[in-house]
Amino acid sequence: MNQKATTLTLIAAAVCIILDWRGVSAFSGEVSRRQSLQAFVGGVATAVVPSIIPVFPANAVVEEETPRVVTRMGGLLEPFQDGPRSIRMMAPSGWNKFDGEVGAYDIKWQDLVDPTESIKISSTPVKSTTTSVDLLGDVQTVGESLAAKRNAKLISASERLTDGILFYKFDFAIADGTHQLLQLCVGKGKLWSVDASAKEKRWPKRSELYENVLGSFMPKLS
C-alpha cells in the first residue's frame, strides 16, 4: 500500500464516524444520535470503509491547556497562515509546498531531497453539532482500532487541549517501514488531520520537527 493510500485509510476510518453523511439524515427522529451513528457505521459506511471503528464512549474532559508550539527550531520552521482555510501553524522551511489534491489533502509539504518525507493537512466537513474529536471515543482505544485496521503498530496515543480545541495524536509504525504521526481535531465545522510521515530509518532526524509542526497547528486564525 502506498503512502497516499495508507494515509487515506487511516483518516477514512476515523472520519466516517462523525462525517455529515447523507445517510444519517434518513434515520428516524426517535433514534438517538449515537444509535444513528452506530447504525450508519454498520450499514452505509461499510461500503466506503469495510471495517469502521466502533463508536466508543466519550472520553473524559481534558481541562489543562497546553500552549501552542511556536518554535522556529533555528530556522527549520517558519510561520504559515492560510486565511481562506482559517489555519495557522509552523511549516518546514524550504520544503516544496503543494495545494490541494482532491480526495488526498488540502496542503502538502514535501522534502526537497526525499519525497517520502511529507506533511499533509486534510479537512472534511462534519455536522454542525460535532464540536470535538472526542466523539470518536477514548484516544487510546481509537488509536488501537486505527492501527488494527491497517496492520500497523500503535506506539503512542495522546491528547491535549490548546486554545479550547481538543487534539488527538497517534504515533504509528507501519508495516512498509514508514513511521507516521497523525493528529485529529475538530474546528469550524471540519475534522482536520495533520499527517507527518518518514521512513523509519529517518525518523530520529525528523521526529522533533514533526512533533513541533503538529503542536503548532491551529484551525483558527486567532
pLDDT digits (tens, 9 = 90+) for 35-59: 433 332 333 232 233 333 344 444 5
Would you say the pTM of this structure is higher than 0.85? no
Chain segment 160-207, per-residue pLDDT in tens? 999 999 999 999 999 999 999 999 999 999 999 999 999 999 999 999
In a domain, 43, yes or no: no
In a domain, 61, yes or no: yes
In a domain, 1, yes or no: no
How many residues are given for the chain?
Answer: 222
In a domain, 50, yes or no: no
In a domain, 109, yes or no: yes
Residue 6, pLDDT > 90, answer no
Residue 88's CATH number: 3.40.1000.10
Residue 7, pLDDT > 70, answer no
In a domain, 92, yes or no: yes
User: What integer pLDDT is reported at residue 15 of this predicted model?
Assistant: 54
Burial of 164 (0-12, 13-18, 19+ CB in 10 A): exposed
Percent of the chain scored above 90 by pLDDT?
Answer: 67
Task: Work out how many domains the chain is built from and give that number.
Answer: 1
List the alpha helices (DSSP H) in 43-154. Answer: 139-150
In a domain, 82, yes or no: yes
In a domain, 26, yes or no: no
Chain segment 166-175, per-residue pLDDT in tens? 999 999 999 9
Contact 181, 196 (CB under 8 A): yes
Domain extent for 99: 55-216
